[in-house]
Structure 1
Amino acid sequence: MRHVIIRQFGQPDALTVEPFVAPEPGNRDVMIEVAASGVNFPDLVIRLGIYPESPALPYVPGYEVAGRVVQVGKDVTDFVPGDRVFATIDGGGYATHVVCPSHQLFKMPDAMSDDEASVIATSYLTAWLSVDRLASVRAGETVAVHSAGGGVGLAALQLCLARGARVIAIATESKHARLTFIGADACIDPAKENLAERLRELTGGRGADVILDSTGGKSYQQSYESLGLLGRLVLLGGAGVINEAGASPLQLVRFWHPAMRVEPIALMTANKSISGLHLPALWSRYEICVAGIYEILALYESGQVMPMIDSIFALDDAAEAHRYIHARRNFGKVILRP
């Protein structure tokens, strides 16, 4: 058995592969032989040591895995060895094997690949919680999605289209043709266009109904100003200032504490709302997350969503996978295969 471990915070080379012995499953636990692990942006921020809730070292990153059950605890009745499953876990996914509580597992649809399944429990659930629970996207509404070519962004785009919404994709110009092909109504490159002005233009001056913002910094203020009446802004992260080497102290201040000039009375009179999402804390509301997973699976089986895999890296190449994401090269998810 092998896993990728962080023993000191730093650049991608801080990720090293080491042998380990997985613990025996507890009475209600399951051991999974991992076929694919999703790589998520928080993994990169944790590696840099600048995550708000950075775990103690040494630490094995990875929140989502897919594979097959190889061992179950004596009180587990819902799964048997050989079952194809995916799981959400509290770290440890960059590994050949993981042990996790059985209630964190879900069986894959027969048609779903291991690669597709490995991105459901974090990327698609994050998108579903944003679209369904926080933004309550409805048919006919206009939704602007930041980082639309990333894993969460593409998931959100597909979920919004499934609800009959119009999607404006915010991404680098090199990704626009593919986003339009998938179904985006229009695209904006924020590095080349004024985001607020372009959103107003594309919505006939009304402003967007919903904006999902994972960029952070000054983008939050621009997104808020681009909302129309009853507009909803969902804050998902702050990937805009983080690079392979990390960020300067000033950048970190802008990353975690961007200035948003929103007074409560102004929020009320503007008829707008702002909400935030941090998925790890939401698993305490297990019933909500499970409902989201099952709705996503139903949409997958009906053909309305399709997890998009950009690149597959070997476990030994986890550092290269992180560099690839830092360079903003991916269109869809990056995964690791043991």
Structure 2
Amino acid sequence: MKFIQLKTPGDATQLFIDEGEVPVPKSNEVLLRVHAAGINRPDILQRQGLYPPPADASPILGLEVAGEIVACGDQVARWQVGDKVCALVNGGGYAEYALAPEAQCLPIPESFSFVEAATLPETFFTVWHNLFQRAQIMAGETLLIHGGTSGIGVCAIQLAVAFGVNVIATASSAEKCAAITALGAVAINYRTQDFVAVVKQLTAGQGANVILDMVGGDYIQRNFSAAAKEGRIVSIAFLNGSKVNIDLMPIMLKRLTLTGSTLRAQSAVAKAKIAQELEFRVWPFFAAKKIKPVIDSVFSFAQVVDAHRRMESNQHIGKIVLNLE
């Protein structure tokens, strides 16, 4: 099979197409003929040598795919050869064939293309776990999202709106703010507005009940100011750095909860639980057309360098996908 090889940790030019053996599924795995693979920020970090894969995972980049099952392990019960699924994989997504645990596969929503389906697993698993499992967000609450036009951001906005949450999201340009507004959220241009002041104004001085932060750096302290009493702040990335000097007093005075997580390091049992909840509680929104994929750009397998550069430009609105068809 063909796959994307990483010559050595570094910039996007270290990626190239190579050939290797098709993997063999374990007893609880399926083998997918990959038609499309999502590009995600952890892929960039892995390419840079900052996010090594677990010891038992494929060293090939790629955490989400959509495709057709071509082989099943002997303990696979739900899926059959020929089924079309999207899957959260533990690595190996940038390849013509990839392995996925049975429990991390989900049916492709009706009428979705493989490219559309490949945008779902990594972002929806991440958002569901952090907002709905960890932060326990509820209808009527106010959610502040930093990075509202990222793949995570557009997913979080749509999911939260679908569940009756009031959403505010930050972005860096008028174009991105317009995209946020179109998804049903209130947009803040962080280059021209102070998000703390705007959030306070929009919530009659109360602040946001939940904050989803991918920025870190000086945003950590500012999030304390923007949060409501009993607020929950969830950190899932640190684009501006994870090491900062902060005053923890607001956590005590406001009774705040500061938490965070990474998805890849979680157990198979935890990921299976997320998948079950997504299929039961979120997948119906696709059929009802209340949530839709937001795709920024699609690149061919041979254009993987350009795909990574597009993500690193931070100009994208929505998901970036590799199309293997």
Common fold by TM > 0.5: yes
Tell me which residue corresponds to 1:320.
306
Distance 1:72 1:126 in 2: 26
CA deviations on 1:233-286 (whole Å, 9 max, x unpaired) are 11110124xxxxxxxxxxxxxx132333215xx523312211102111234424
Q: Does 1:262 align with 2:248?
A: yes
Q: What is the CA-CA distance between 1:55 and the residue it aligns to?
A: 5.9
Residues 104-136 of structure 1 deviation map (CA, whole Å, 9 limit, x = unaligned): 322223323212221222101111112211222
Task: Name 1:175's counterpart in structure 2.
Answer: 176
Q: Note the alpha carbon deviations across 1:43-73, whole angstroms, 9 max, x for none.
A: 101111123x466899311001000012223
Distance 1:237 1:297 in 2: 26
Within a 5 Å distance, the mapping from 1:241-320 to structure 2 comes to 255-263=241-249, 266-284=250-268, 285-294=270-279, 295-320=281-306
Distance in 2 (alpha carbons) for counterparts of 1:83 and 1:58: 23
Aligned partner of 1:250 in structure 2 is none
Query: What is aligned with 1:34?
Result: 34
Amino acid paired to 2:182? F
Question: In the alignment, does 2:225 pair up with 1:225?
Answer: yes
The answer to whether the 8 Å contact 1:315/1:337 transfers is: yes
Which blocks of at least 5 consecutive residues in structure 1 are unaligned?
Answer: 241-254
Alignment of 1:230-241 (within 5 A): 230-240=230-240
Match of 1:333 in 2: 319
Shift of 1:179: 1.3
Over aligned residue pairs, what C-alpha RMSD do you find?
A: 2.0
Partner amino acid, structure 1, of 2:88: T
Identical pairs, percent: 30
Task: Report the CA distance shift for 1:54/1:20 in structure 2 as closer, same or farther (over 3 A).
Answer: closer
Deviations 1:1-40 (A, max 9, x none): 2111113100001111101121333343321110110111
Give, in angstroms, the shift of residue 331 of structure 1. 0.7
Corresponding residue for residue 130 of structure 1: 130
Q: Which residue of 2 aligns with 1:249?
A: none
Distance 1:54 1:77 in 2: 28
Listed as ranges, the matches of 1:7-46 within 5 Å are 7-46=7-46
Q: Count matched residues.
A: 320
Aligned residues of 1:39 and 1:335 also touching (Cα < 8 A):
yes
Q: Secondary structure at the match of 2:265?
A: helix
Offset at 1:77?
A: 3.5
CA contact (8 A) 2:224 2:251 kept: no
CA contact (8 A) 2:125 2:275 kept: no
Segments of structure 2 that go 5 or more residues without pairing to the other structure are none
Q: 2: distance between equivalents of 1:306 and 1:283?
A: 28
Instruction: Work out the CA distance in 2 between the residues paired with 1:155 and 1:58.
Output: 26
The structural deviation recorded for 1:176 is 1.0
Distance 1:17 1:269, change over 3 A: same
Matched residue SS, 2:35 = strand
**CA deviation after TM superposition for structure 1 residue 97, in Å:** 0.9
Contact between 2:103 and 2:272, CA under 8 Å: does it hold in 1? no
Indicate the SS of the match to 2:93: coil
Decide which moves more: 127-136 or 319-328: 127-136
Contact 2:2–2:95 (CA under 8 A) maintained in structure 1: yes
